[in-house]
Amino acid sequence: MTTTRIIGIDPGLVSTGWGIIESKGSSLTFVDCGTIAPNVKAPLSERLHALYADLTRIIELYKPTSAAIEETFVTANGASTLKLGQARGALIVTLAAKGLPVAEYATRSVKKALVGTGTADKNQVSQMVGVLMPAARAALAACKHDAADALAIAICHAHSRGA
């Protein structure tokens, strides 16, 4: 049975969560998590470049072999949705440029895979990540919900691959 190192990405232009796990069969192991927070006062091009540069460093450090990213959540504010899509695009290109296969998951699918309902809130998702990977609890306490969401995306991908 091979071990797969998965990076999960919760895209955002203000804060992008990332989480890395290892999956071997049905066993999951927490590796690390965190957030990428570009300067909100910087021009859009610089913020997108910061996402690219920081994600590149994370990939080079942890060497994941697979990637999963959350699909864009469409809001009533078209401008916000478009900017989120641009951030997501920059992140996907970075993952692909590093040779990683990229899977995409809807928010509701990730929540349902972890909590059992697609309408779970961020606290419920974070708590379930801690239940599934107790070693992640200390890191999650220091991180934003974006990192917990990224770990949830990675876990969802690990479960989907095993199905």
Q: Which residues are catalytic?
A: 10, 70, 146
Alpha-carbon gap, residue 69 to 84, rounded angstroms? 13
- For the chain, strand residue ranges (E) read 4-10, 16-24, 27-36, 66-70, 102-105
Residues constituting the chain:
163
Query: What is the C-alpha end-to-end distance of the chain, expressed in Å?
Result: 15
3-class state of residue 13 by DSSP: coil
Radius of gyration of the chain (CA): 15
The amino acid present at 144, given as its one-letter code, is: K
What lies within 8 Å, CB to CB, of 82 at 6+ separation is: none
